[in-house]
Amino acid sequence: MYSQGQISRIIQKIVAKVSKELELAQEYDSVDEVMEKYGISFDEGPMPVDSRKSKILVFGALAGKSKDYIMAAKKLGIAQENIVFVSDYDELKRYDTAKLEYSLEYSDIIYGPTPHKTTGMGDENSFLAKIKREPNKYPKLIVATANESLKLTVTNFKNALTNTRYFEAM
């Protein structure tokens, strides 16, 4: 029989060991093998969202002023520090989308108009196509459209926010 303190130390050691194993697996593109080893699958449902820590990524050019989007989020009870805007054309083009794979930092991506190619896409035609093809690798995707085209207006941004996992967890 182990004491609670001993169990706590065992858990810490296991977490440190598995974390190191995952870091190496990420480096050698073998995360799937580690997940299989431990019987972990993303098909079991989405990871829980901690609305105090996680964020919503707004990825795409804004049709209006950023202060209006921030105000719309505030009206829904979402603090500015829980939303990250990547909306400048050059910033969008340079953004390394590979770092969003299996991201725990973001619960959702609200997707608007973007350059066709961004950093970290590999052979994909567009980042949007990549997320749609492999949705289990990314935060929940909400595509912002107006008149059947990608567009991030304040109105559809507000609607998108209410469909996020973040908003549901609040």
Tally helices (H) and strands (E) across the chain: 7, 6
Q: How far apart are CA 55 and CA 48, in angstroms?
A: 13
DSSP string, 2-71: --HHHHHHHHHHHHHHHHHHHHHHHHTT-HHHHHHHTT--GGG-PPP--TTT-EEEEES-BSS-HHHHHH
DSSP secondary structure letter of residue 107: E
Average pLDDT over residues 124-152: 87
Q: What is the pLDDT of residue 51?
A: 66
pLDDT, tens only, 106-130: 999 999 998 876 665 566 678 888 8
Which pLDDT tens digit goes with each residue over 61-97?
999 999 999 999 999 999 999 999 999 988 988 888 8
Angle (CA) 54 57 61, round 5°: 165
Confidence band of 12 (pLDDT split at 50, 70, 90): confident
pLDDT at position 36 is 85
